[in-house]
């Protein structure tokens, strides 16, 4: 499968200490996306000229670098990628390496001592369920070797169900209940997402739903009411069916990805957008807690 990054996290991408693989490619185009290098399924180069001093023209034998500017047409058609594979230059970050299920298992085996009692492997994105065939192979291999697995998903694909059935712990986004707002936020409908979330809520014991709180998109009171009403209903049905509360995490929008957009040669679309106020977060929490939903903080 193609990934754009990997790394360690603790209690943020599932329980315990986890090795996270971020799969490349996404079917949404969220304008606040924290990982723009994860949107396209293709290999891409991030370029940070401010990280170096002096000339770096020598790093590219094909002439893509000129006075600390990158010709992305030349760069995009490069197969050798000497800047990363030979020079390992800090100005360049390659997003889109291939890793096989067997390689993931090998890394998991060598990392067992780091996992502790509750840790394991997490697959995020992008959208992990767009690479379902290799994802399922990886999940089955990891299960055969007793390694805990987590998926972070936008719950928007038909293959989501097959992945949800096999993974140990499921983390899903809910960005909006209004289809009109969801389309304006992400570029796609949320009909399948709401169906998938209902399925997961009624069948998956280890489940966390995340709400990315984004100024001007899902911070208006009508949409807050719609989201909390949908979750309150799912929470009650989940209690009746499984005897388990619904767990929800609020993710406040941030501007930490601004440098990534610059590194990709793209304008940052959220420059003029203020962060959602703590009063908005408090309103979400009040609505959710009053319904008996468990609020998760990390």
pTM: 0.94
The β-bridge partners of 208 are: 171
Could you state, in order of their start, the residue ranges of all structural domains in the chain? Answer: 2-41+97-296, 44-95
Q: Which of 15-24, 89-98, 194-203 has the lowest mean pLDDT?
A: 89-98
pLDDT in tens, 105-144: 999 999 999 999 899 999 999 999 999 999 999 999 999 9
Q: pLDDT confidence of 20, banded at 50, 70, 90?
A: very high
Per-residue exposure over 249-271, b if at least 16 CB sit within 10 Å of its own CB, e if not: bbebbeeebeebbbbbeeebebe
Closest C-alpha to 96, from 21, 4, 5, 1: 4
- Give the mean pLDDT of 211-226: 95
| CATH architecture classification, 2-41+97-296 | Alpha-Beta Barrel (3.20)
pLDDT in tens, 172-190: 999 999 999 999 999 999 9
pLDDT at 216 over 80: yes
Q: pLDDT confidence of 75, banded at 50, 70, 90?
A: confident
Share of the chain above pLDDT 90, in %: 83
pLDDT for 298: 63
Closest C-alpha to 129, from 186, 171, 81, 67: 171
Per-residue tokens: 163? 């992945």
pLDDT for 84: 87
DSSP 226: H
């Amino acid at each position: 499968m193609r990934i754009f990054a990997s790394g360690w996290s603790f209690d943020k991408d599932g329980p315990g200490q986890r090795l996270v693989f971020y799969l490349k490619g996404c079917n949404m185009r969220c304008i606040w996306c924290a990982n723009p290098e994860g949107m396209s399924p293709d290999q891409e180069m991030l370029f940070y000229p401010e990280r170096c001093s002096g000339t770096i023209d020598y790093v590219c034998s094909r002439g893509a670098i000129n006075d600390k500017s990158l010709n992305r047409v030349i760069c995009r058609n490069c197969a050798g990628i000497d800047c990363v594979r030979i020079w390992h230059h800090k100005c360049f970050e390659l997003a889109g390496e291939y890793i096989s299920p067997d390689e993931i298992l090998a890394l998991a085996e060598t990392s067992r001592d780091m996992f502790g009692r509750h840790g394991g492997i997490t697959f995020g994105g992008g959208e992990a369920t767009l690479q379902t065939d290799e994802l399922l192979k990886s999940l089955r291999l990891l299960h055969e070797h007793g390694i805990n697995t987590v998926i972070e998903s936008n719950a928007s694909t038909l293959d989501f169900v097959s992945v949800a059935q096999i993974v140990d712990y499921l983390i899903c986004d809910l960005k909006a209940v209004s289809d009109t707002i969801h389309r304006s936020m992400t570029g796609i409908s949320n009909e399948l997402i709401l169906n998938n979330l209902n399925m997961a809520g009624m069948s998956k014991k280890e489940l966390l739903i995340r709400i990315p709180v984004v100024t001007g998109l899902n911070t208006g009171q009508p949409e807050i009411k719609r989201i909390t009403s949908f979750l309150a209903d799912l929470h009650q049905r989940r209690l009746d069916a499984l005897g388990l509360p619904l767990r929800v995490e609020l993710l406040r929008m941030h501007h930490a990805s601004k440098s990534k957009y610059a590194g990709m040669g793209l304008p940052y679309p959220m420059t003029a957008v203020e962060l959602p106020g703590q009063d908005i977060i408090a309103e979400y929490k009040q609505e959710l807690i009053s319904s008996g939903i468990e609020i998760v903080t990390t």
